[in-house]
Amino acid sequence: MGMVGTVGLVLHPRRDSEEAIKDILRWADGRRVTVLGLPEEVGRIDCSAVAVDADALVERSDLLVSLGGDGTMLRTMRLIAGRRTPVLGVNLGRLGFLAEIDVRDLPATLSAIDSHAYAVEPRMAVRAKLGEEEVTAFNDIALARIPGEGLAAISVTPAGDPFVRYAADAVIVATSTGSTAYSFSAGGPIVSPRVEAVLVVPAAAHSVFNRALVLPADEEVTLEVLPSSGRVAVEVDGAVHAHLCPGDQVSIVAVPGAANVVRVGSTFYERARRKLGVEGSTAAG
């Protein structure tokens, strides 16, 4: 990332982002940097950010700043998917695993950007086609059971080779970035986001084989809803996008380098230990 001439803001719909926006505007005013925002977001805050539509925000911004939590960060990454424009995540919530910094660190981080004292790291996504719609996720795409309609019975076929059938609450196809989200809660491994791999993780599997799979990023994986399954919801980064019936299938591919994030602070492992409460066994001494 070279000199920043235009910053785009993406805001959480409810959390108070006024303090963070004031910090950004003060920094921008002293450097003749233009600050853009989406009309429905900056319109509810008394600020000098210029309201533009999503296409203009993506096209004109040299840096996108996500102000919110993990959901806002994921939305920002999906918005910019396929472009080199980096995203800085600012946490306004409690856990905020994906956000790089907290609000109190924003002035120092903007100074670090001025001094080029930061790194930009790529993040992989997963992509699937649902009917005529193509969806992209930076955490995961999951086929989840619908309450009252039975288990999700799903066959998993990586690289055209049928491998396993799960009966579970859900089958999650996650990126390494998403390894600390739904996949983690289902018992999947923690994977550094620098690893380009696809995780297939069953949630609450009612099967003899209940292990996760780790696949290379260049292998397509196909999930088929088996005849014994109930209908399933297709969740993309936690939001329901479609429903599938027995006999339906969806193929998922990895998209390496689909977004770029600004890194200035702690390492992934420091953040994982702190945010996930990783302590280890007391018996280990």
CATH number at residue 102: 3.40.50.10330
Cα separation, 174 vs 176, in Å, equals 7
Helix, strand, coil fractions of the chain, as percent rounded to 5: 25, 40, 40
User: Does the pLDDT at position 281 exceed 80?
Assistant: no
Q: Is residue 1 part of a domain?
A: no
Same-domain status, 146 and 231:
yes
pLDDT at 95 exceeding the cut of 90: no
Would 91 be classed as within a structural domain? yes
Would you say residue 202 lies in a domain? yes
Tell me the per-residue pLDDT of 195-227, one tens digit each, with 9 for 90 and over: 999 999 999 999 888 999 999 999 999 999 999
What pLDDT shows up at residue 15? Answer: 85
Structurally, how many domains does the chain consist of? 2
Q: Which residues are annotated as a binding site for NAD(+)?
A: 70-71, 75, 139-140, 169, 180-185, 204
Burial of 50 (0-12, 13-18, 19+ CB in 10 A): middle
The predicted model gives 245-251 an average pLDDT of: 97
Amino acid 192: pLDDT? 95
CB 264 within 8 A of CB 112: yes
Given a cut of 70, is residue 100 above it in pLDDT? yes
From the candidates 53, 70, 114, 248, give the one annotated as an active-site residue.
70
Q: What is the pLDDT of residues 252-271, one digit of tens each?
A: 999 999 999 999 977 889 88
* % of the chain with per-residue pLDDT over 90: 74
Check: CB of residue 55 under 8 Å from CB of residue 36. no
Instruction: Report residue 51 CA to chain centroid gap.
Output: 25
Band of residue 114 on the pLDDT scale cut at 50, 70, 90: confident
Catalytic-residue membership of 70: yes
89 shares its domain with 129: no
CATH number of the domain where residue 162 is located: 2.60.200.30
In a domain, 225, yes or no: yes
Per-residue pLDDT tens over the stretch 116-170 = 889 999 999 999 999 889 999 999 999 999 999 999 999 999 999 999 999 999 9
Domain hosting 198: range is 125-256
pTM attached to this predicted model:
0.93
Q: What is the pLDDT of residue 227?
A: 98
251 located within any domain:
yes
Residues 71 and 97 placed together within one structural domain of the fold: yes
Say yes or no: 246 and 271 in one domain.
no
DSSP 28-96: HHTTT-EEEE-HHHHTTS-S-PEE--HHHHHHH-SEEEEEESHHHHHHHHHHHTTS--EEEEEE-SS--
